[in-house]
Amino acid sequence: MNGSEEKKPLSHELRLLLASLLSMAVILLWIRFFGPKPPIGKPQGTKPGVSAPAMPGQTSVTGANPSDSGTSSGTNTAATTASTTTAAQNTATPAVPAKADTQERTIVVENNLYRVEISNRGAVVKSWQLKNYRDDAKPPKVLDVVHPEAAQQTGGWPFSLVLNDEQLEKQANSGLFQAWVPEPGADVTASAQAYAVLPPNPLKAPTELQLVWSDGHLEITKQFKFDHSYVMRVETTAKLNGAPIPAGLAWRGGFGDLTVTNPVPVETVLTYYGEAGKLTALPHKKLDGLENWGPGVWRGGKDYTGIEDRFFTVAFLPANGAASGTLETRFWKVFHTIQVEGKD
């Protein structure tokens, strides 16, 4: 042996470890000096909110709070034809031209049997007098089957609109409709230029009355046709951004002779419907509150529906030629307070 100690060769495992460490060092150095730089992020603020009307079926429908002291209930009925069309969401720009009157107006339509007052606010009926009948007041007056006090307290009138979206429904029932009388032979779907300006009241039946309102997204059209009889034909369309949405007409605020005292009016008013040849009558005790009718809940398969008191009725019938069982209905009650001999 000489004076210097021979170096031992590196083992295979040690050489692999050194090679791995050197490779990792090279990669880290390359990323540090030559790799792509991460983008400099801007500080994020609060994003602006996006608003749109609720889709039909998303908004809860609630009724007026029941009054424990109420002695009479507003019985309501609504009818619509079956529809499965869904509405499109609102957009930033109007989908249709806005249409609205500049002031509230009352249009009177009459013949030898009745006198009807229609308000262009919501295109609803404010009075329906039967000229050949008197109520039980002292002295008797011409019978008006509309209950104005109940309608004002509960916020609904006959022939008001029922939509599956509560917000849209309120907008439509408070809008100022443009009212027109179609010229003879005019297409009811034509523009306003095809209609004559509403003549002075009253309008003599037979006549037609067209009412249109739109806020640029929601568009409602009602057409009333009166003849020499008690029959009135009504057509209603509702569109949201040009797409049809389900819509019904309601007789709100109760019905019949409010001056009846024996029994009280609430005991004489019924809602009813016909289905498969069978008549079903519903007194107010069997009616739910409006809060129990969920959004878009309708009962289909009805041949007709209506509301009645002891002697009179309003019946909703399908259009001529429509198949039986095509009406969808809903019935509800809301309480309001009346005074009898000075007592609530």
Which domains are seen in the chain, by residue range?
72-85+97-336 (2.70.98)
For 89-129, give the DSSP string.
Answer: PP-SS-SS--B--SS--EEEEE-SSEEEEEETBTTEEEEEE
Residues 6+ apart with CB under 8 A from 217: 53, 90, 91, 94, 95, 96, 240, 241
Which stretches of the chain drop beneath a pLDDT of 50? 1-5, 38-73, 82-91, 191, 193-194
Q: What is the pTM of this model?
A: 0.72
Buried b (16+ CB within 10 A) or exposed e, 286-308: ebebbeebebeebeeebbbbbbb
Give dist(CA 147, CA 74) in Å, integer: 9
What is the model's pLDDT at position 324?
A: 86
Residues 6+ apart with CB under 8 A from 206: 111, 225, 226, 227, 228
Structure tokens at 127: 């009075």
Give dist(CA 152, CA 270) in Å, integer: 21
Query: Given the structure tokens 């005991």, which residue do they identify?
Result: 267
Query: Given the structure tokens 């809301």, which residue do they identify?
Result: 334
